[in-house]
């Protein structure tokens, strides 16, 4: 099965959340389908079994060849604005709506003239309606988002008795696929914050803001809280990841406002620092591992209320990094449930200062939050969050024969083993079978022509029957025997090919099951190592003694057990 994945944002060494999402999903889904990933700019990343290329945004012709080859399409919903032709594609269409465009644009254009904002909202409503009419499977990031889109689907007439009869909760129509994180814990690959930013010493506690300074966030209240933090922790350092968006997103007002405020408070380059380069995706672990705590804050608005659990928050789980979060979004709800961060009211300067001081001055509290973060991380690996997409792909048997208006259904709770790979493309298999049928009809050679009528016809028949045919008959009979042998051999080869494909499918399914079990075991090993560390701390005091040299020698350069 050929899956075409299309990104509306840059995918490469330096990329933001949308690019990270499609790249990681493409890598996971390549175990279950033949994947081609397209982005608006050339992709400078390489992964086994993922073919990459680029297209021209808004140019239909640049997508045509790829659409013809695809059996299934997975695209960010925003693409339907520049490429409305995707809505007419006959293939099953998976639309990723994890980022509610209309709500984000309300914040993005909040300071624009009212007519411009009204026009943007009108276009976003039109885009949403186009998305709701076109998708076979919709992806969202949280249950709260799912409720939002269920209401929209109801208004669009997509929730029907027939749909509800086959799937009462409509998980086959709209599935929760959160942002994910790597299954392997982060390891240092180079320098991060320390030793790179002048003014941050080796022992200074670092408060990390590891996202862009988007206008819907709240770095200003954090900067205003820093004098109070510095009074209690004089060497505290706040670092903003403030590099320019790699995809050329619209300029934001907050970066300049944040720098100006830090300068006015005499904090700039003393206690507040701005890292001016967009950090490569593979290097972000170095910045996380250099940090003491992390902070992610926002104002109160609809984008916040319906946002995904943001990629930076999942990185806190990945790195076991204690955090301070604003209340009101899905990340805060997850933090309250699992206890990996301190949750404070939005735009509350006093609460921000006290939460940061608590974490910077209490090793025990930081260790507690870090342990809870690491324990939660395995639930959000990319392999885990992609399961609804894998189940959807496994439900499609002959994509090219599907009527354009036929909706595919699947069980979101279906075990991972049900998603057996399609070793051959269905279209190639159909071409082979049609060729065999044609060969079965045409291999038999008989008389050259049927008898002719009339006086001239009788002369012709006599000439063919008495002279030509007796000369050619032995040759034709020999050729017919040869054709029959070739035909039988090709049928035997086709049957053997089908047998091999079925055996390979079963073998690959077993391999994937073993791979999934191995990943689960790796997660348990991490938890066990953490429990052993805690036990050592309880016995020997804090910090625990270093592991024996044998343990160190048994690990590869990247820190993973060999």
Residue 235 pLDDT > 70: yes
Rounded Cα distance, 95 and 139, in Å = 6
The pLDDT of residue 489: 61
The pLDDT of residue 516: 65
Residue 471 pLDDT > 90: no
By three-state DSSP, how is residue 76 classified? strand
The pLDDT of residue 168: 87
Handedness of CA 310, 314, 320, 326 (dihedral sign): positive
Rounded Cα distance, 279 and 285, in Å = 10
Residue that wins the pLDDT comparison between 420 and 340: 340
- The fold of the 206-380 domain, in CATH, is Rossmann fold (3.40.50)
Residue 504 pLDDT > 70: no
Residue 249 is classified by DSSP as: P
Among 140-144, 192-196, 418-422, 505-509, whose mean pLDDT is lowest? 418-422
Structure tokens at 267: 């904090």
Average pLDDT over residues 102-121: 89
Residue 241 pLDDT > 60: yes
Q: Are 382 and 181 in contact (CB under 8 A)?
A: yes
Q: Are 412 and 206 in contact (CB under 8 A)?
A: no
Contacts of 196 (CB under 8 A, 6+ apart): 275
Rounded Cα distance, 347 and 341, in Å = 17
The vertex-357 CA angle with 351 and 362, nearest 5°, equals 130
Residue 392 pLDDT > 90: yes
Banded model confidence at residue 545, pLDDT cuts 50, 70, 90? low
Banded model confidence at residue 306, pLDDT cuts 50, 70, 90? confident
Banded model confidence at residue 359, pLDDT cuts 50, 70, 90? very high
Residue matched to tokens 């899956």: 3
Banded model confidence at residue 403, pLDDT cuts 50, 70, 90? very low
Could you state, in order of their start, the residue ranges of all structural domains in the chain?
A: 2-176, 206-380
- The neighbour count for residue 88, using CB atoms within 10 Å, is 9
The pLDDT of residue 335: 93
The pLDDT of residue 524: 73
pTM for this one?
A: 0.69
Q: Are 60 and 83 in contact (CB under 8 A)?
A: yes
Rounded Cα distance, 195 and 287, in Å = 11
Q: Do domains 2-176 and 206-380 have the same CATH topology?
A: yes
Average pLDDT over residues 239-267: 84
Nearest residue to 402 via CA among 94, 167, 91: 91
Half-sphere exposure of 144 (CA within 13 A, CB side): 17
Residue 416 is classified by DSSP as: G
The pLDDT of residue 455: 62
Q: Are 344 and 327 in contact (CB under 8 A)?
A: yes
Residue 487 pLDDT > 80: no
Banded model confidence at residue 533, pLDDT cuts 50, 70, 90? confident
Average pLDDT over residues 287-316: 88
Please report the DSSP string for 198-213 in residue order. TT--TTS-EEEE-S--
Contacts of 330 (CB under 8 A, 6+ apart): 141, 142, 144, 145, 307, 308, 309
Percent of the chain with pLDDT strictly greater than 70: 74
- The fold of the 2-176 domain, in CATH, is Rossmann fold (3.40.50)
Q: Are 271 and 190 in contact (CB under 8 A)?
A: no
Average pLDDT over residues 516-545: 73
Rounded Cα distance, 188 and 194, in Å = 13
């Amino acid at each position: 099965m050929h899956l075409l994945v299309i990104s509306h944002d840059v995918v490469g060494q330096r990329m933001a959340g949308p690019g990270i999402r499609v790249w990681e999903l493409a890598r996971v889904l390549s175990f279950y389908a033949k994947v081609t990933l397209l982005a608006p700019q050339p992709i400078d990343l390489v992964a086994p079994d993922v073919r990459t290329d680029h297209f021209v945004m808004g140019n239909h012709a640049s997508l045509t060849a790829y659409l013809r080859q695809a059996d299934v399409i997975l695209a960010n919903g925003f693409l339907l604005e520049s490429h409305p032709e995707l809505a007419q594609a006959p293939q099953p269409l998976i639309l990723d709506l994890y980022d509610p465009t209309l709500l984000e644009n309300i914040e993005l254009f909040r300071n624009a003239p009212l007519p411009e904002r009204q026009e943007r909202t009108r276009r976003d409503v039109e885009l949403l309606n186009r998305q709701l009419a076109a998708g076979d499977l919709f992806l969202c990031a949280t249950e709260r988002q799912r409720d939002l889109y269920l209401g929209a689907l109801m208004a669009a007439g997509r929730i029907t008795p027939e749909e509800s009869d086959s799937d009462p909760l409509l998980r086959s129509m709209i599935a929760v696929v959160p942002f994910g994180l790597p299954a392997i814990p982060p390891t240092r690959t180079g320098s991060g914050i320390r030793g790179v930013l002048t003014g941050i010493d080796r022992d200074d506690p670092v408060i990390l803001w590891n996202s862009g300074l988007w206008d819907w966030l709240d770095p200003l209240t954090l900067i205003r809280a820093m004098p109070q933090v510095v009074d209690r922790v004089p060497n505290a350092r706040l670092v903003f990841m403030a590099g320019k968006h790699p995809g050329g997103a619209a300029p934001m007002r907050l970066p300049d406002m944040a720098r100006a405020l830090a300068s006015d408070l005499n904090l700039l380059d003393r206690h507040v620092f701005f890292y001016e380069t967009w950090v490569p995706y593979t290097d972000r672990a170095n910045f996380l591992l250099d940090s003491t705590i992390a902070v992610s804050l926002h104002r109160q608005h609809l984008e916040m209320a319906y946002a995904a659990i943001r990629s930076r928050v999942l990185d806190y789980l990945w790195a076991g990094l204690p955090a301070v979060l604003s209340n009101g979004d899905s990340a805060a709800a997850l933090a309250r449930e699992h206890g990996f961060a301190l949750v404070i009211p939005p735009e509350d300067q006093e609460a921000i200062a006290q939460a940061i001081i608590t974490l910077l001055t209490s090793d025990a509290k930081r260790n507690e939050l870090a342990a809870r973060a690491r324990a939660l991380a395995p639930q959000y690996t990319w392999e885990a969050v992609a399961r609804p997409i894998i189940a959807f792909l496994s439900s499609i048997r002959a994509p090219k024969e599907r009527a354009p208006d036929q909706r595919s259904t699947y069980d979101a709770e279906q075990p991972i083993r049900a998603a057996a790979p399609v070793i051959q493309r269905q279209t190639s298999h159909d071409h082979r079978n049609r060729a065999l049928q044609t060969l079965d009809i045409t291999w038999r050679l008989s008389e050259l022509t049927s008898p002719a009528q009339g006086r001239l016809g009788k002369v012709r028949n006599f000439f063919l029957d008495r002279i030509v045919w007796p000369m050619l008959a032995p040759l034709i009979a020999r050729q017919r025997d040869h054709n029959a042998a070739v035909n039988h051999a090709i049928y035997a080869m086709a049957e053997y090919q089908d047998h091999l494909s079925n055996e390979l499918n079963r073998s690959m399914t077993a391999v994937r099951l073993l791979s999934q079990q191995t990943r689960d075991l790796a997660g348990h090993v991490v938890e066990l190592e953490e429990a052993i560390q805690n036990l050592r701390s309880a016995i020997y005091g804090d910090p625990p003694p270093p592991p024996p040299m044998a343990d160190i020698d048994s690990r590869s350069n990247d820190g993973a057990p060999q």
